[in-house]
Amino acid sequence: DLGNLDFVFEDLSLRDISGNILNALSHEFSILIGGSADLSSSCKTSLKDYPDFDFNNYAGRNIYFGIREHAMGAILNGMALSGLRSFGSTFLVFSDYMRPAIRMSAIMNLPVIYIFTHDSITVGEDGITHQPVEQLASLELIPNLYVYHPYDVNELLSSYKDILSANHPSVLVLPRDNKEISELTKSNKINDG
């Protein structure tokens, strides 16, 4: 239930809020497991109340994939095939490295959750190699892949509700910076267009 979140939305970026939502959901969904391609602190995808998954601890729910976006996508697909609700994160610009795995999620209709952050071309401290330009549009072209690009926390909550209630692969694209809450958005409805 996303209506019982016990954190404040003000002065947080959507990636921070998304991380809080993931942590709240981890207590409700015992099959939620995932990680990032070496960017969990930037993408805010660490499940704080759970240990890391490794060869000494199969009960862990945080996976460190390393800088291996394509391998991460393929592993997420395998986890989804085994009945887990898998998620993986990296910067939006690096989604190109995992495009074949994302396409396989869409072809196989696997409910993988891809969380891509830093969607703005204003992300400049690492240079043009970290500035996404065409990635969002190219992801939207993949058939059977649902792409969510929420404007504010209301649309983020609505996106998560839709993602968790459906059985399809989803991409959640989040900015690095903070966004004000709009009076025009609602947490119980998103635009399917």
Q: Provide DSSP, 21-76.
A: HHHHHHHH-TTEEEEESS-HHHHT---TTS-B-BTTBTT--EEE--S-HHHHHHHH
Q: Residue 192: its pLDDT value, please? A: 47
* Residue 40 burial (CB count, 10 A): 20
Q: Residue 175: its pLDDT value, please? A: 85
Give me the chain's average pLDDT, please. Answer: 86
**Residue 85: is its pLDDT beyond 90?**
yes
Residues acting as catalytic residues: 69
Amino acid identity, position 112: V
Tens of pLDDT, residues 139-189: 999 999 999 999 888 899 999 999 999 889 999 999 887 766 666 666 666
CB-based contacts of 49, cutoff 8 Å, min separation 6: 23, 26, 27
Q: Residue 12: its pLDDT value, please? A: 82
Look at strands 113-117 and 85-91 and give their pairing. parallel
Exposed / middle / buried, residue 113 (Cβ in 10 Å: 0-12, 13-18, 19+): buried
Q: What are phi and psi of 125, to 5 degrees?
A: -65, -20
Q: Residue 114: its pLDDT value, please? A: 97
Q: Residue 6: its pLDDT value, please? A: 56
CA–CA gap between residue 30 and residue 179 (Å, rounded): 31
CA–CA gap between residue 137 and residue 80 (Å, rounded): 25
**Residue 83: is its pLDDT beyond 60?**
yes
